[in-house]
Structure 1
Amino acid sequence: MNKSESKYFNTALRMDEALIALLEEKDLEYITVKEICRRAGVNRSTFYLHYETIADLTDEAMDMIDRRFESYFPRREEEITDGIASRERKELVLVTREYLLPYLRFIRDNKKVYRAAFRAPGSVQAARRYGNLRQRIIGPVLERFGVPAAHRPYYMVYYVEGIAAIVKEWLRRDCEDDVEMVAGIIEACVRPREGFCEK
């Protein structure tokens, strides 16, 4: 990457970060180009050199978040999705510490983005992003377990929304509780074990 490409990239990154910070304060439809530019320390012509609309910047910022998210996981998504058809059913439980801990660490390290996502899911295209998770991972796993196609949307919404509710409460508490503790709570809710409540 040459010097001008590096400068272009760094300017775009500042605008991504500015948008993310503003999303924590207000809904996307109320954010202006002027506010993004002021927060990023650039002028309007620089914004329009990079993007045609705020929606273009939003797409780029969310793609950046997705790339950061993937870097937290020990295994790539392809390794997970490619093996669904051939793995034993007992290996297809995705709510395990292997997946929960990186997921929760990422949320803790990117609290602003997740607060914005819960405040205005449409602005960060949460439905599209969770739709990909449902189609590529959860759907095939449910199929392997013989869950009828008509029932799968209900299982999926329960799975995604249940975990999201726990994460939302954790964010409300500013992620003060330990990642291990929150992972344990999610595991217990999704796969309760005997004697969990016994003392």
Structure 2
Amino acid sequence: MDRQEDLTHIADTSIDPRTKRTKASLREALGTLLLEKSLEQISISELCKVAGLNRSTFYLHYSNVAELFGQIEDDLLADFRSTLLRYERQVSPRPYRREQPNYTASKGLLQETYTFMLRYRAFAPIILADRSGSRLLTILFNLGEEAFLAEWRSLETEPFQHEGYYFYNYIASGIIGLLKAWHSGGMNESPAEMAELTVKFMYC
């Protein structure tokens, strides 16, 4: 997949084409630099050099590199939120139960999750950082927890409701761990293969 498509496909289509190209170049450049160093180590001058733009052009859109990344985080969150909404009513809240396992829905959502991470692989080290340092991961984790616990409470009898909090953390932490391992291993397996492997672990 082309890197520019990889990092900019969710950009606002209503903005001026020239502005869109400029922002796409900056996002692409930031993604390239993040493969080599941390966000804090990237300067505006370095970013502009990689993007082929001057500093004055950068300042027309952003005040600093952190603001650029913050906008990218917002776009990534919106993109992933739409993915979650597509599968919200299909995923079983109790994947470890064998009575009515929803393998297809679980695998579909997981494959979308791995596809999302592959699409934004340049930003994976920050997306998958410890939740105390990753705004995106914290928001995604909390959104998932709210939805999961609401459905869990509607299905479980009172003696088991307190288990939902622990079960969600167990499953979510495991998936985050697999995403980290997949990324650090070079993402050689396809999203479909990783989804299949994850479902196997969840239902074993």
Q: Would you call these one fold, judging by a TM-score over 0.5?
A: yes
Contact 1:139 1:152 in 2 (8 A): yes
Are 1:42 and 2:50 an aligned pair? Answer: no
Secondary structure of 1:129's aligned partner: helix
TM-score calculated relative to the size of structure 2: 0.71
Structure with the bigger RCO (C-alpha within 8 Å, sep 6+) is 1
| Distance in 1 (alpha carbons) for counterparts of 2:166 and 2:114 | 24
| Distance in 2 (alpha carbons) for counterparts of 1:79 and 1:175 | 24
Residue in 1 that maps onto 2:161:
148
Contact 1:163 1:186 in 2 (8 A): yes
Residue in 2 that maps onto 1:185:
197
The answer for unaligned runs of 5 or more in structure 2 is 1-11, 93-98
Q: How far 1:6 moved relative to its partner? A: 0.9
Query: CA RMSD, aligned part only?
Result: 3.5
Q: Deviations over 1:126-182 (max 9, x none)?
A: 2223222322x3232332333535x44432221211011112222222121243332
Residue in 2 that maps onto 1:33:
44
Contact 1:19 1:36 in 2 (8 A): yes
| Distance in 2 (alpha carbons) for counterparts of 1:83 and 1:188 | 15
Are 1:101 and 2:111 an aligned pair? Answer: yes
Are 1:114 and 2:124 an aligned pair? Answer: yes
Q: Where do residues 66-85 of structure 1 align in structure 2 (5 Å cutoff)?
A: 66-69=77-80, 73=83, 77=85, 80=88
Amino acid at match of 1:77: L
| Distance in 1 (alpha carbons) for counterparts of 2:87 and 2:189 | 31
The answer for unaligned runs of 5 or more in structure 1 is 193-199
Aligned length: 183
| Distance in 1 (alpha carbons) for counterparts of 2:100 and 2:29 | 44
Amino acid at match of 1:181: E
The percent identity for this pair of structures is 22
TM-score calculated relative to the size of structure 1: 0.72
Residue in 2 that maps onto 1:58:
69
Contact 1:95 1:187 in 2 (8 A): no
- Structure 1 residue corresponding to 2:22, chosen from 8, 11, 33: 11
Amino acid at match of 2:161: P
Amino acid at match of 2:194: V
| Distance in 2 (alpha carbons) for counterparts of 1:108 and 1:83 | 22
| Distance in 2 (alpha carbons) for counterparts of 1:163 and 1:95 | 16
Are 1:162 and 2:170 an aligned pair? Answer: no
Amino acid at match of 1:28: L
Amino acid at match of 2:127: A
| Distance in 2 (alpha carbons) for counterparts of 1:98 and 1:112 | 23
